[in-house]
Structure 1
C-alpha cells in the first residue's frame, strides 16, 4: 500500500504542476553550474544531463521526446557551452535511448546505468570536441568528470524516484 493510498483525501498536485516538476528539476540541475565553486580540477558533473537521463530512463513519459531541445538550450545558456551544442547532444541521446528501448523488451537498473554511462561519455566527448581545440590537454580532467558523473547517476535516480512518487503521477 502506497502513501497515496493511505490518505485518499489528501490534495494532489494539479496535472500542470505535476508535469512541470521534471522540467524544473532538469533546469535546476543545469543552473547548478552557475554556483561559485572553486576547484583545482574542474570535475563538476553536468547535473542537468544527469537529471534528464534519470527522468528519461526512470519515468519514460515524464518528459516528451522533444523536451531535450529546449532543456538543452537552457543548459547552453547557463553553462557557457557553444550555443546549440547541448540541444544537439541531448536530442541525439534521446533518439539513441528510444532506439535502445525499441530493441530491449525489459530493462533493469544496471542496464539503465550502462545506458546513462554511455550517454554521459558521449555528451562529454562531443562537448569537448565542440568547445575546445583538439590540442588542449583536458583528457584526464574529462575522464574524472565522466567518472564522477556516472557515480552520481544512482543518486539522481533515487531523487527522481522520490520526486515522482511525491508528485502522484505513478
Structure 2
C-alpha cells in the first residue's frame, strides 16, 4: 500500500480554528503529564511539555507563533511547581536560540533537529536547576539522568507531532 493510497481528498479535515489550537493543546497535555502520580526513587520524569513544544517548533515551524512559548511556559510553571516565570523565560530563550540557528542553517535534517533539541533541553534543565534550587543542592546525578531520558525521548515526541500534524490536515 503506497502513501498516496492513504490520501483521501474527500476526507473531512479539521476546521482552521481547531487545527491552530491542536499544537497548543498537545503542549498543554504534555505539561499535564507532570500531574500524573508516579512513584519513583529517582525523579527522572522528562518535561513532556517542553518536548512537545520543541517538536512542534522544529518540525512544524509555523504551527506555533514565536510568542507562544511564554503563555505555554506559564501554564507549565503553574502545573510543575517550578518558580513562576522560569519556564516562561527558559522556553522563550529556547525559541530565540532555535530562531537564531535557523537563520544560519538553511537546510536541516532530523539529526540536526535532535542536536538542537538536545542543546535546548540541556539549557532548560540546567537553567531550571539554577533558578529553582540552591547552589549546594546535590541533584546533579538526577538532573543528568533526567536530561539523558529527555533527550532520548525527543524522537518519540517528534514522531507523535509529525503524526498529529499530518492528521490535522495542514501538512
* Superposed pair shares fold, TM > 0.5: yes
Matched, 1:66 2:67: yes
Is 1:4–1:168's contact at 8 Å kept on the other side of the alignment?
no
State the match for 1:87 in structure 2: 88
Q: Alpha-carbon deviations, 1:26-76, whole Å to 9, x = none?
A: 000001000000000000000000000000000000000000000000000
Q: Tell me how far apart the structure 2 counterparts of residues 82 and 149 of structure 1 sit (CA, whole Å).
A: 21
Q: Relative to structure 1, is the Cα distance of residues 59 and 2 closer, same or farther in structure 2, using a 3 angstrom cutoff? A: farther
Q: Tell me how far apart the structure 2 counterparts of residues 12 and 125 of structure 1 sit (CA, whole Å).
A: 40
Q: Alpha-carbon deviations, 1:11-34, whole Å to 9, x = none?
A: 110000001110010000001000
Q: Relative to structure 1, is the Cα distance of residues 156 and 58 closer, same or farther in structure 2, using a 3 angstrom cutoff? A: same
Matched, 1:13 2:17: no
Could you state the TM-score of these two structures normalised by the residue count of structure 2?
A: 0.97
Could you state the TM-score of these two structures normalised by the residue count of structure 1?
A: 0.97
Matched, 1:40 2:41: yes
Please state whether the residue corresponding to 1:72 is helix, strand or coil.
helix
How far off its partner does 1:10 sit? 1.6
State the match for 2:105 in structure 1: 104
How far off its partner does 1:2 sit? 3.9
Q: Relative to structure 1, is the Cα distance of residues 86 and 2 closer, same or farther in structure 2, using a 3 angstrom cutoff? A: farther
Q: Tell me how far apart the structure 2 counterparts of residues 109 and 121 of structure 1 sit (CA, whole Å).
A: 18
State the match for 2:137 in structure 1: 136
State the match for 1:126 in structure 2: 127
Q: Relative to structure 1, is the Cα distance of residues 101 and 8 closer, same or farther in structure 2, using a 3 angstrom cutoff? A: same
Matched, 1:30 2:24: no
Please state whether the residue corresponding to 2:43 is helix, strand or coil.
coil
Q: Alpha-carbon deviations, 1:120-162, whole Å to 9, x = none?
A: 0000000000000000000000000000000000000000000
What stretches of structure 2 of length at least 5 have no aligned partner? none
